[in-house]
């Protein structure tokens, strides 16, 4: 039961973080924002599945009510709703955390239950942001379905391909899209035979959903709209609210054909064929069909769908959808810097009101993309092969084995006895090739951190705009490569920390000028290698941390005692304590004290660590140390009796052999040792792990001081064996309940060594410690 | 759309009796047992075992099977049988059993000796008799008569499903997700 709960909580937290990310990118103009949030909230509801305590349920009910309300009114987010969601996300995050740790729940704001008063002038909102687009007057709150497609399209032409999208991203997009489309086609074929097959429905729904997300990232709103409509139809079918018939399957196929045509065309254009040519897609027709199908249920006349299918082959000659053509074309003119519009584009161009604003907005982007294209041109031919990660991991495992087998051969005593220049040359060559092979295998999982960094530039831009600050983001070392998993895991902590820097670090322009600094603040995001780790720094030139203020706050919050003696580093570390916040006013972005502790948890989960340095008035630097890959760690090999254990080097502070008198007994059972003036409890590992051990007295063994977060503990082991890089392997589900080990590793002699879970050992409750010592 | 291509592991799940087919028979102490041969991945010699602390008695630890770390259990201590000193005939049967997350996982079992692969027809297999509460027979799927005696057919999936739950867990600590 309890593991189930933690599973739910774990999944819920992920979705809540996604909601937070989604919220950061929402503004009141963006009518598509609500779909993303609605989807995530729906996911969250599904995950919780009624298992949640009533406090959380109240929060979920509230958000459901707001969203349903917005959907019913105009399917857009209002500023009231955004503010509420902004408050809600950290609230639910805190509530879920309370659930996890059985703490008291945050109070439920009473105001949340009342329905939102519709904002007086949603029309004004839309028009103001659309600016030059004369069409925007149409974008008012037109009641519903039939009008909706008409209403949405004109505004979409304003969307511009974001300047940070590059060819590489487009290529990845195409590769992934092709896979998704294949999934879609397979799923549809199954559905044709058995329209209620729930696993195909699910996979189809997921495929469209992912596709929607991808085109959303590329800012192709028209396609996103299409994917969204198909997705909602499948969602209805999945929930049993709608029965898929042959007509709806035809529509889905037609939709996937449209997407496929787009992707094929796009990859052709990336490869340089007909770059800049318009891609005409009969999307409004299809969306209309979906709507009429959904409205009429499964009994909808089959007359409509063929109409959607038919125009497609003929589309280039007679575009059935000038508005869409204009939108898609404008986007891609921007990307591919079309030398001359092709004749097919003419009908679309003749809609000046639509195409003009887009073209203007796109112009600065076009140049940049053109240079991008040139520099990336030689790479186009190389192509991308997508490989199942299971296969990849298998390969990496095997290579790891090969390296071990190789070292066993090279170090074989009988072989060593042979003195032959030829043999040693051959062995040397073997060693060279295996280590090359290992490096290549490892590099297969490596991706540059560029994409993650570039996402941050978008975030900084939005944050600066929202808060009226001037912030420049400078990126360094974007080509640094990391394990794919790590890059994924890093994204959320980085978002938190960048927000933190933008929100708390950088001052308002006036304050900066008054302090003699340039009005525009700078956040530097940098990545580099250092001693087997990847170091990521987030540096701002803002107001810096005030040790005195932090101290005062921590005492107020009861995190430390008033008379506690802490050095500066320890005081800075306090901002990672749960429930700490230095922001004087709580903004909707950060400052609720959830955040930095989560950041630290996430970083530690991937066996990294985080450090802060700051000079008051000059700025703050957060430094993250993360391993190159999740698969390999550098470990300190220690011996206890016959067994060997691995302690991750990153958590080892020091090791020494204690002298008599350094160890003090407490009540005859506990032991403490004074490490640099600090009394640190000793944990006798041999006893704790019930392993025969030789160091019966601390002075016969070695003390390894390990730290996790702010806590440290002395582990007593028999001997130090050495340092070694090990490939981490899971212990498997049989050992999922044990808390001592983080995994296992194959050691040089082929035996299995267990990797100690330092976090668990350091935070071990006193009861167990008393037993062990 | 590709499902896990090993349907055989599930063929015994949920059924009360053992299905006819080929079984690998082996000895534990002086008793004879059988498991479906389709679940057997390979048979290896005893190798160095790394014990894992604070696990139930019968969980011997983990071994390195060509780079994979797999758990090893001793069915003799699981079934409360006497354990004699290791001999040349002792070996590890590496089996492939259903994983909780779907798919299969490897599971090593120490046995006193491997006998043969026997073909049991439906007529050979009899349902588990009621032992009158003398012991829990929930892991037994049936009894197979063969020329030399009776083999007890056991369900490793069921046995392994109970391994983890007996583990001693430090109180108050939510079981953190382990290294993948």
ipTM of this model? 0.76
Question: What is the per-residue pLDDT across A378-423, written as a single tens digit (0 to 9) for each?
Answer: 444 456 777 887 888 788 778 877 877 787 787 778 888 888 889 8
Domain, as residue range, for B153? 7-164
Q: Which two tokens stand for residue A192?
A: 């044709």
Mean pLDDT to the nearest integer, A537-542: 90
Inside any domain, residue B128: yes
The CATH number given to A389-444 is: 1.10.287
Domain range A448-627, its CATH number among 3.30.565.10, 3.40.50.300, 3.40.50.920, 3.40.47.10:
3.30.565.10
- The CA distance from A383 to A546, in Å, is 51
pLDDT score of A551 more than 80:
yes
Nearest to A708 by CA among A620, A600, A622: A600
Taking each continuous run of H as one helix and of E as one strand, the counts in chain B are 2, 11
How many CA atoms, within 13 angstroms, populate the side-chain half-sphere of residue A336?
A: 27
- pLDDT digits over A491-535, tens only? 888 888 888 888 888 888 888 898 888 888 899 999 988 766 789
Give A570→chain B minimum CA distance, Å: 25
Question: Residue B170: which of A203, A398, A739 has the nearest Cβ?
Answer: A739
A448, two tokens: 């540059």
Q: Which residues pair with A682 in a beta bridge?
A: A714
What lies within 8 Å, CB to CB, of A132 at 6+ separation is A356, A357, A360
The pLDDT value recorded for residue A65 is 84
CB–CB contact A736 B71 (8 Å): no
Residue A313 has pLDDT above 60, yes or no: no
Q: What is the pLDDT of residue A85?
A: 82
Q: Is residue B12 part of a domain?
A: yes
Residue-wise pLDDT for B107-163, tens only, equals 999 999 998 898 888 888 888 877 776 666 778 888 888 877 889 998 888 888 776
Q: What is the dihedral of CA B7, B11, B12, B16, to 10 degrees?
A: 150
Cα dihedral value A351, A355, A360, A366, nearest 10: -140
pLDDT above 90: residue B72: yes
Calculate how close chain A gets to B157, using CA atoms only, in Å.
12
In the sheet that holds B140-146, the strands lie side by side as B113-120, B21-28, B31-36, B149-154, B140-146, B125-126
Print burial letters for A626-665: b (CB count within 10 Å at least 16), e (below 16): bbbbbbbbbbbbbbbeebbbbbbbbbbeebeebeeeebee
Architecture of domain A2-120: Up-down Bundle (1.20)
C-alpha span between A692 and A169 (Å, rounded): 56
Q: Does residue B174 sit within a domain?
A: no
Torsion sign, CA atoms A294, A295, A299, A304: negative
Q: What is the pLDDT of residue A351?
A: 39
Contacts A757 to B, Cβ<8 Å:
176, 178
The pLDDT of A252-280, averaged and rounded, is 75
* Domain spans, chain A: 2-120, 145-379, 389-444, 448-627, 632-772
How far apart, in whole angstroms, are the C-alpha atoms of residue A329 and residue A335? Answer: 10
CB-CB contact of B28 with B79 (8 Å):
yes
Instruction: Tell me whether domains A448-627 and A632-772 share a fold.
Output: no
Q: Do A754 and B160 touch (CB under 8 A)?
A: no
Helix, coil or strand: residue A635: strand
Q: Between these two residues, A147 and A690, which has the higher pLDDT value?
A: A690
> A583-639 pLDDT, tens per residue?
444 444 444 444 677 788 888 878 788 888 888 888 889 999 887 766 677 889 999
| Multiple choice CATH, A145-379, 3.40.50.1000, 1.20.120.160, 3.30.450.20, 1.10.3430.10 | 1.20.120.160
Mean pLDDT, rounded, for A274-289: 70
Q: Which of A400, A733, A764 minimises the CB distance to B67?
A: A400
Closest of A753, A477, A747, A558 to residue A640, by C-alpha: A753
The torsion angles phi and psi of A213, rounded to 5 degrees, stand at -60, -45
Q: Does A398 sit within 8 Å of B69, measured CB to CB?
A: no
Residue with tokens 């050979």: B124
Q: Which residue has the tokens 């909601």?
A: A19
Which chain A residues are closer than 8 Å to B175 by Cβ?
A: 3, 6, 736-737, 739
**Which of A13, A737, A755 is most worth mutating to test chain B (most B CB atoms within 10 A of its CB)?**
A737
Q: Are A156 and A143 in contact (CB under 8 A)?
A: no
The span from the CA of A133 to the CA of B96, in Å, is: 64
Check whether A142 has a pLDDT greater than 50: no
Residue B19 maps to which CATH number? Answer: 2.40.50.180
Inform me whether the pLDDT recorded for B40 exceeds 90: yes
Question: In this structure, how many other beta carbons lie within 10 angstroms of the beta carbon of residue A554?
Answer: 22
CA distance A754 to chain B (A): 8
Instruction: Name chain A contacts of B176, Cβ cutoff 8 Å.
Output: 739, 757, 759-760
Per-residue pLDDT band for A581 (boundaries 50, 70, 90) equals low
Q: What pLDDT does A32 receive?
A: 60
More confident residue, A449 or A158: A449
Distance from CA of B154 to the nearest CA of A (A): 19
* Assigned CATH topology for domain A632-772: SH3 type barrels. (2.30.30)
Å between A742 CA and nearest CA of chain B = 5
Going by DSSP bridges, is the β-strand pair B31-36/B149-154 parallel, antiparallel, or unpaired? parallel
pLDDT higher than threshold 80 for residue A362:
no
**Which of A118-132, A184-198, A458-472 shows the lowest per-residue confidence on average (mean pLDDT)?**
A118-132
Q: Please give the structure tokens belonging to residue A511.
A: 């304050």
SS3 label, residue A722: strand
What is residue A25's predicted lDDT score, i.e. its pLDDT?
64
Q: What is the pTM of this model?
A: 0.49
B64:A750 CB<8 A: yes
The minimal CB distance from A737 to the residues B50, B105, B164 is found for: B164
In a domain, B106, yes or no: yes
Looking at the 3D structure of chain B, how many domains does it have?
1
């Amino acid at each position: 039961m309890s593991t189930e709960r933690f599973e739910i909580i774990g999944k819920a937290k992920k979705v809540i973080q996604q909601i937070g990310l989604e919220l950061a990118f929402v503004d009141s103009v963006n009518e598509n924002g609500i779909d993303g949030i609605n989807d995530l909230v729906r996911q969250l509801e599904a995950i919780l599945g009624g298992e949640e305590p009533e406090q959380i349920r109240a929060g979920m009910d509230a958000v459901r009510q707001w969203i349903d309300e917005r959907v019913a009114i105009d399917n857009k987010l209002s500023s009231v709703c955004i503010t509420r969601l902004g408050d809600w996300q950290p609230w639910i995050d805190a509530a879920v955390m309370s659930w996890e740790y059985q703490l008291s729940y945050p109070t439920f704001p009473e105001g949340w239950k009342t329905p939102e008063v519709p904002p007086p002038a949603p029309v004004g909102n839309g028009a103001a942001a659309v600016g030059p687009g004369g069409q925007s007057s149409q974008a008012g709150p037109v009641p519903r379905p039939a009008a909706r497609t008409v209403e949405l399209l004109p505004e979409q032409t304003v969307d511009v391909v974001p300047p940070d999208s590059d060819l590489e991203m487009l290529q990845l997009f195409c590769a992934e899209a092709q896979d998704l489309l294949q999934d879609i086609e397979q799923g549809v074929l199954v559905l044709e035979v058995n329209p209620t097959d729930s696993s195909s429905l699910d996979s189809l729904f997921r495929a469209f959903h992912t596709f929607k997300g991808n085109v959303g990232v590329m800012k192709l709103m028209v396609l996103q709209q299409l994917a969204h409509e198909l997705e909602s139809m499948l969602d209805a079918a999945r929930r049993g609210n709608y029965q898929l018939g042959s007509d709806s399957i035809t529509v889905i196929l037609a939709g996937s054909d449209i997407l496929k045509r787009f992707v094929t065309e796009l990859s052709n254009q990336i490869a340089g064929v007909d770059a800049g040519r318009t891609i005409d897609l009969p999307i409004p027709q299809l969306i209309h069909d979906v709507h009429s199908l959904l409205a009429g249920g499964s009994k909808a006349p089959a007359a409509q769908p063929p109409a959607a299918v038919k125009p497609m082959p003929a589309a280039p000659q007679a575009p059935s959808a000038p508005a869409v053509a204009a939108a898609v074309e404008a986007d891609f003119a921007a990307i591919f810097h079309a030398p001359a519009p092709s004749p097919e584009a003419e009908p679309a161009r003749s809609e000046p009101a639509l195409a003009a604003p887009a073209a203007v907005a796109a112009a600065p982007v076009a140049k940049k993309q053109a240079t991008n294209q040139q520099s990336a041109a030689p790479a186009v031919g190389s192509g991308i092969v997508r490989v199942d990660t299971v296969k990849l991991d298998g390969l990496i495992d095997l290579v790891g084995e090969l390296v071990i087998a190789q070292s066993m051969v090279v170090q074989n005593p009988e072989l060593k006895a042979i003195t032959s220049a030829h043999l040693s040359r051959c062995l040397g060559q073997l060693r060279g090739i295996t280590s090359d092979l290992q490096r290549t295998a490892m590099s297969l999982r490596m991706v540059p951190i560029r994409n993650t960094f570039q996402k941050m530039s978008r975030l900084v831009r939005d944050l600066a705009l929202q808060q009226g600050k001037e912030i420049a983001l400078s990126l360094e070392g974007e080509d640094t490569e990391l394990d794919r998993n790590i890059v994924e895991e890093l994204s959320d902590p980085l978002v938190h920390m960048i927000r933190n820097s933008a929100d708390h670090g950088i001052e308002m322009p006036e304050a900066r000028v008054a302090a003699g600094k340039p009005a525009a603040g700078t956040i530097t995001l940098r990545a580099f290698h250092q001693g087997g780790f990847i170091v990521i720094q987030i540096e701002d030139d803002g107001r810096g941390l005030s040790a005195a203020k932090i101290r005062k706050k921590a005492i107020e919050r009861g995190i430390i005692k008033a008379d506690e003696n802490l050095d500066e580093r320890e005081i800075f570390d306090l901002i990672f304590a749960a429930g700490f916040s230095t922001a004087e006013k709580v903004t909707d972005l950060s400052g609720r004290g959830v955040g930095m502790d989560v950041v630290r948890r996430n970083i530690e989960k991937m066996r990294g660590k985080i450090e802060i340095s700051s000079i008051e008035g000059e700025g703050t630097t957060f430094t993250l140390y993360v391993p190159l890959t999740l698969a390999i760690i550098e470990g300190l090999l220690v011996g206890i009796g016959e067994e060997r254990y691995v302690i991750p080097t990153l958590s080892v502070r020091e090791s020494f052999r204690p002298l008599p008198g350094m160890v003090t007994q407490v009540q005859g059972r506990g032991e403490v040792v004074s490490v640099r003036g600090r009394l640190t409890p000793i944990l006798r590992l041999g006893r704790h792990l019930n392993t025969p051990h030789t160091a019966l007295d601390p002075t016969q063994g070695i003390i390894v001081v390990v730290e996790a977060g702010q806590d440290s503990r002395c582990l007593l082991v028999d001997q130090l064996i050495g340092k070694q890089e090990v490939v981490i392997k899971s212990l498997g589900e049989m050992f999922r309940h044990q808390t001592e080990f983080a995994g296992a590793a194959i050691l040089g002699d082929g035996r299995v060594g267990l990797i100690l879970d330092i976090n668990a050992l350091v935070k071990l409750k006193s009861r167990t410690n008393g037993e062990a010592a | 759309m590709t499902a896990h291509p090993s349907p055989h592991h599930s063929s015994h799940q949920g059924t009360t009796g053992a299905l006819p087919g080929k079984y690998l028979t082996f000895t534990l102490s002086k008793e004879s047992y059988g498991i479906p041969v389709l679940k057997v991945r390979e048979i290896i010699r005893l190798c160095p075992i790394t014990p894992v602390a604070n696990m139930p008695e019968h969980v011997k630890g983990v071994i390195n099977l060509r780079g994979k770390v797999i758990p090893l259990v001793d069915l003799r201590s699981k079934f409360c049988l006497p354990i004699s000193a290791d001999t040349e005939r002792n070996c590890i049967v590496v089996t492939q059993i259903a994983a909780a997350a779907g798919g299969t996982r490897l599971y090593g079992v120490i046995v006193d000796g491997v006998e043969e692969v026997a073909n049991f027809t439906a007529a050979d297999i009899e349902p588990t008799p009621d032992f009158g509460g003398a012991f829990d027979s929930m892991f037994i799927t049936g009894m197979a008569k063969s020329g030399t005696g009776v083999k007890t057919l056991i369900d490793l999936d069921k046995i392994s499903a109970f391994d983890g739950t007996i583990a001693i867990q430090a109180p108050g600590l939510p079981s953190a997700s382990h290294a993948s």
